[in-house]
Amino acid sequence: MHWIALRWPLEEAVGAASATSAAAVAGEAQPAAPWLSAEALGWWALQFTPRVTWVDEALLLEVSACERLWGGRLALMREIARTNPQPVRVQRAQGATSLVALARLRMFARGEPPPADVPSGLPLDTLSAARDHLEVLAHLGCRTWGDVDALPRGGLARRFGKPLRAALDAACGLVPESHRWLVLPDVFDQKLELPALAERAPELMWSANRLLAALQLWLRARQRGAVALELQWTLDLRRLNGVELPPCQQITVRTAEPTQDMGHLRRLLAERLAASTLAAPASWLRLRSLDTAPWAGASVSFLPEDNRKGDKLHELVERLSARLGPQQVLSAVVRADHRPECRQAWTPALHHAAPGVRQRIRPPAEVPEAGAIYPAWLLREPLPLDMQGEHPYYQGPLRQLVGPQRLEAGWWGDGRPAVRDYYIAESPRAGLVWIYRERPSACFASGEVRWYLQGLYA
């Protein structure tokens, strides 16, 4: 077996955290690399091997079964250093067992070279099971693992307990090691304490960056894309000005397509937070996934004109909806009705269509029927046309080119049937237009002929 031990220096971590805190105070919305939790670092390590565990201060990876997939140990170590998610360098060490790798990592952190004889020559203070007995063992003349291993097994177990003898046996490979391997949770749900009470909602964004970085690692490990997220903050007060406050507040962010793009999610959260108001100062922040979908990855083309730069359309719609409000960004949907003005409805682009309304991407004017050529643009409501004698008039007298196309429908709607003759006509200034004439029928009290403009051709 072969083990790799990883450690991130605490003193450098404190400096990095101070730098990112200063960046947040200075107004930077996105720190370069937020500090990740131990759980998130374990998710990152799962891309190299399924056997990952935390032992004391080190993250241990058992890689004997998968190091060939990475091109050998040296290539794997380089890949670990290259993809390091923390803002500080990662310290690395190797060993035949987990305890040997951990001991060598501790010596590397102190700047000491490893001994020539491993594991017998390793210092005794690098073995966690011996730390409570270092003073007594030093009086016995024991300075290394080999010195303690040479003591009588029975007497060592009776004097210092079984864990020390068992740790030496595991370190020397005499007995199998037992670890609790890290397992990915089915749902992302992380919570962290804010470094200071947040008075305004935008102040939550800096801490939310840490949670988003952990979310990205979880999504990659699960091969999922985020569809809906909830950001929740805990209020520090129970009552304000005599008014009972809820224990927490939250906002929900939804995307039209599964995504692993934290930049897009960060912009959506920032827009929602900018429009939110804290009922009281916040002390804790929580991010959890409400809905995810399988991640298929991005598909690109070899043709440069197909690889367009900039935001995708659905990302722009989501960002505008978060900034202006869902009711201000609408999309057209198709309804089951033969009357053209009733075929399309406008609903919020982020919401599903209402009951009885069928969602479509293309506008209803582009839905073809047999023998019909519909215009590219339909008016929201039919426009009554002026008359010059018996001829309709729209930016000049209209000349009928194609028609009539007869329509009789609508009795199941508002009770008023549509009895119409449709024509494609030509206007001297507007070009081709789509008009119709209401035909006299028993449903109309008068025999007056009325003309309307329904659509325009490009």
Question: How buried is residue 5: exposed, middle or buried, by Cβ count under 10 Å (0-12/13-18/19+)?
Answer: buried
Give the pLDDT confidence score for residue 347 in this predicted structure. Answer: 78
Q: For each successive 10 residues of the chain (458 residues), what is the average pLDDT?
A: 89 52 43 74 93 94 91 92 91 93 94 90 93 92 92 91 92 90 92 89 88 92 92 87 85 86 88 86 92 77 60 69 75 72 73 40 42 72 84 86 76 64 88 84 60 84
What integer pLDDT is reported at residue 366 of this predicted model?
A: 42
pLDDT of residue 367: 41
Rounded alpha-carbon distances, angstroms, from residue 325 to 11, 23, 268, 271: 45, 30, 12, 10
pLDDT of residue 355: 34
The gap from C-alpha 148 to its chain's centroid, in whole angstroms, comes to: 51
| pLDDT value for 28 | 43
Write down the pLDDT at residue 310. 57
**How buried is residue 66: exposed, middle or buried, by Cβ count under 10 Å (0-12/13-18/19+)?**
middle
- At 52, the amino acid letter reads V
Distance CA(419)–CA(406), nearest Å, equals 8
| Structure tokens, 126 | 């690098």
d(CA 64, CA 82) in angstroms, rounded, equals 20
N-terminal to C-terminal alpha carbon distance within the chain: 71
Residue 157 one-letter amino acid: A
> Quick one: pLDDT at residue 239?
80
Residue with tokens 């609508």: 410
**pLDDT digit string, tens, across residues 367-378:** 445 445 778 777
pLDDT of residue 405: 82
